[in-house]
Structure 1
C-alpha cells in the first residue's frame, strides 16, 4: 500500500469548504449552548432549569433520529443541510431577541424561560437531521480511497470547533454581553449558509422510491445489529460516554475535592479537550488501518483507567494529566469509530446508520451527565467516577471477549480495495 498522505482529503476544494462550514456551525452551536445555560441560570438561579435544557434537546433528537435518517437517505444532501442551517439561524435570531434588554425588561421570567425551552426543543429536532446529513455528505465529497482520512479531518474539525466555541462563549459573555454574543452566533450561521452553496448538489444514492418507512427504518437498525464491527464500536462508545464521563461533575472536583477554584476548573476542562484534539490530528499521520479493532479496545481501556486515576487523585497535576490522557484516548476512539462507520456503511444507508449512531452515542452525553450527577449525589463524587471508569473497563473486556469480529478487525484490506 502507498504511503499515507495525511492531507489527502484537504486537497479537495469542496471538502475544505465543507470543513469551514462545519466549523462555523459547530462553533456557533457550542457557543450558543454555553450562553443559554448562563442566561437561564442567571434568571432562575435554579440548577434544575439547566437539566431541563438538556431534556428539551434530547427528547426530540432521540425520538426523531431514525425518521431523520430515513429522510436523509432519500433527499439531496447539500440542500437538506442548507435547509437545516437556515432553520438553525432562526433559532439563534429568536434567542437573540429573547435575551435583549427590551424583552428581559418587559417579559416575565417564566415567559422568557418557556420560549427558550421551546427554541431548544426545536434545536433538538434539527440536531436529529444535522448528524446524518453531515455524515452522508462527507462520503459524497471525497473518493472512497480517502474516506479514512476525511473522517479524521471531519472529526478533528468538529472537536476543535466544539471546544473553542464553548471557550469563547464564556469570554464573549463578559466582552459583549449575552444578547450580542447570540447575535454573533446568528452571523456565523448565516455565513456558513452562504459558503454552503459553494458545494455542488450531490446525487441521491438511495433509489428505493416508495419503500415503506417501517421497512426502511427496520433495514437500518438490522444492518447495525448484524454488522458486528459497527455494533461493537457503538456499544463501546455508548458505555464509555454513559459511565465514564466526568465533565458534568468537574465543578464538584474543582471546588470540593481538589479545591482549585475557577481557574483550576478551567484547566481541568481544557486538559480533556487538548488531549482529544492533539491525538485526533496525530491520527492523520499515524495510520489506524492495521489492527483497528485492538486499537479501539485499547484506547477505550486506557480511557477507563485514566478516569479511575482521576477519581482517585488528590493532586491537581495528576488530575490534569489523567484527564489529558482520557481526552487523548477518547480522540483516538472517535476517529476509529467514524472511520469504521464510513468504510462499513453502504452509501444508500448512511443516513439511517448515522441516526442509529446518534441514538447510541449522541444521546448518551445527556444521559451520562444525568448518571454522573445522580451517582455523585448517591455515592459521592470520587466513588461515582471510579465506578464509571470500572464499568468502562468491564465493558471493554466483555466486548473484546464476545465480539471477535471487532477484536480482530483490520481495515487494511478495506482501505486498499478503496484505493484501487
Structure 2
C-alpha cells in the first residue's frame, strides 16, 4: 500500500504542476506553439535517456530510484514557486524546468512499471494494475481540479502544494520493501542497453500493443490544447481547465475500478482495438463540441476507453518479460507512453498553429481510427489474442 500511496501523492503533485505550468505559459505567451513545446521538452529527455534509465532500473533498488526522481521534482516545484513569487518566471525558465521534469520522468517510469510485478503474485497482476491505476486516476482527477481552483490564489501556492506532495512521495518510496535483488552488475554496453529493444522487437504481440498506444494517443491526444479550449472556445477560467483535465481521469478511474472487480479474460486483443476506436470517436466529439458538459463527457469517455487499453497492454508486457529484463523493457515502453503524451502534446500544438485547435483535435481523432484499422491488418496475432497469458 505504500507504493499505492506514493504514486497517489506523486501523480497528484505532477498533475497540479502541469495545470499550473500550462496556464502560466499561456498567460505569458498566448501561444499554442509554446504549449506544444512544453510537451516536447518533457519528451526529449525521456527519449535520450531511455536505454540508460532501463539499465539503472535493472541494476539499482527500484524504490530508491523512484525516491530520487521525486526529490528532483521537489526541487523543480520549489524553483517554480520562488520564480513566480519574485515575478521572474519566464517562457525560457518554464522550458528549462520542463526538460528537468522530463529527465526525472525518464528514470521514474521504467522503475515504477518494473516494480509492480515484484509486489503482487503473477496471477493477480492484471487486477493489481487496475487497482494501481485507480489510485493514479483518482490523483489525476483531484490534481487538476484542485490545481485549477488553487491557481486562483496564485501559481506560487500551487507549486508549494506540489512540493509538499513530492516530499511525501519521497518518504513513502523509501519505505517500500521488495524482493528484487539485482544480478551481478553488468558492464554498460550497447548490447545490454539495447536488450529491451531487441526483446520487444522479437515479440509481435507486445510490439503491436505498445505501438498501437503510441500512434493512437499521439494523434488523438488533446491535453495540450485544453487551455485554449477552456479560455477561447468554452469560455471558462482556470477552474474549467482543471475540470477538463480531470475528465479523462474520471472515466479512467471508474473503468479501473470495474476492471479490478471484473478483469478482462477473453478476446483481449479485439477488446483493446475496440477501446482505442472508441477513444478516437470520443476525440472527434470533443473537437466539435461547444458545450462544456458535452466536452466533459467526451473526455470522460476517452479516459475510460484508454484505461482498458492501458491495463491490457501493461499486463501483456509484464507477463511476458522476465524480472531481470523488466527495467529495460519498461524503459522502452515508457518511451512509447511518453511519446503518446508529451510528443502528442507537441503534435497538437504544432497542428493547432496551422489548422486551429478544432482542426487539430478533429484530425487527431480521425487519425486514431485509421491507426486502429491499419494495426488490425499488420498485427493479426494481437487482434486474435484471446488471453493475457497467451494460452487459449
TM-score computed with the length of structure 1 as normaliser: 0.83
After superposition, residues 308-327 of structure 1 pair within 5 angstroms as 308-313=284-289, 318-327=294-303
Higher radius of gyration, 1 or 2? 1
Alpha-carbon shift at residue 393 of structure 1 (Å): 1.5
Summarize the Cα distance change of 1:405–1:164 in structure 2 as closer, same or farther, 3 Å threshold.
Answer: same
Match of 1:152 among 130, 136, 158: 130
1:189 aligned onto 2:174 = no
Q: Secondary structure at the match of 2:59?
A: coil
1:99 aligned onto 2:84 = yes
After superposition, residues 37-76 of structure 1 pair within 5 angstroms as 37-42=22-27, 49-76=34-61
Report if the CA contact (8 A) 1:155-1:338 is conserved: no
CA distance in 2: counterparts of 1:99 and 1:315, whole angstroms: 33
CA distance in 2: counterparts of 1:98 and 1:204, whole angstroms: 42
Greater shift after overlay, 43-52 or 345-354? 43-52
CA distance in 2: counterparts of 1:328 and 1:398, whole angstroms: 23
Q: Structure 2 unaligned runs (5+)?
A: none
CA distance in 1: counterparts of 2:25 and 2:164, whole angstroms: 22
After superposition, residues 9-24 of structure 1 pair within 5 angstroms as 16-24=1-9
Q: Secondary structure at the match of 1:290?
A: coil
Q: Provide the residue aligned with 1:166 in structure 2.
A: 144
Report if the CA contact (8 A) 1:275-1:325 is conserved: yes
After superposition, residues 15-414 of structure 1 pair within 5 angstroms as 16-42=1-27, 49-100=34-85, 103-104=86-87, 114-175=92-153, 177-200=154-177, 202-207=179-184, 209-250=185-226, 252-253=228-229, 259=234, 261-262=236-237, 268-313=244-289, 318-411=294-387, 413=389
Note the alpha carbon deviations across 1:11-53, whole angstroms, 9 max, x for none. Answer: xxxxx11100111111112112222333444455666554443
CA distance in 1: counterparts of 2:269 and 2:324, whole angstroms: 25
Alpha-carbon shift at residue 396 of structure 1 (Å): 1.2
Q: Structure 1 unaligned runs (5+)?
A: 1-15
CA distance in 1: counterparts of 2:64 and 2:246, whole angstroms: 35
Note the alpha carbon deviations across 1:290-341, whole angstroms, 9 max, x for none. Answer: 1111111111112122223344556665544433322221121112122212
CA distance in 2: counterparts of 1:317 and 1:165, whole angstroms: 20
Report if the CA contact (8 A) 2:219-2:368 is conserved: yes
Note the alpha carbon deviations across 1:211-243, whole angstroms, 9 max, x for none. Answer: 442001222101111111211111111111111
Summarize the Cα distance change of 1:385–1:161 in structure 2 as closer, same or farther, 3 Å threshold.
Answer: same
Q: Secondary structure at the match of 1:99?
A: helix
CA distance in 1: counterparts of 2:355 and 2:180, whole angstroms: 53
Report if the CA contact (8 A) 2:49-2:103 is conserved: yes
CA distance in 1: counterparts of 2:213 and 2:133, whole angstroms: 15
CA distance in 2: counterparts of 1:319 and 1:31, whole angstroms: 21
Report if the CA contact (8 A) 1:73-1:204 is conserved: no
Could you say which structure has the greater relative contact order, defined with CA pairs below 8 angstroms and 6 or more residues apart? Answer: 2
Alpha-carbon shift at residue 283 of structure 1 (Å): 0.8
Q: CA RMSD in A?
A: 2.8
Summarize the Cα distance change of 1:98–1:269 in structure 2 as closer, same or farther, 3 Å threshold.
Answer: closer
CA distance in 2: counterparts of 1:210 and 1:341, whole angstroms: 23
Greater shift after overlay, 393-402 or 64-73? 393-402
TM-score computed with the length of structure 2 as normaliser: 0.89
Summarize the Cα distance change of 1:186–1:346 in structure 2 as closer, same or farther, 3 Å threshold.
Answer: same
Report if the CA contact (8 A) 1:148-1:342 is conserved: no
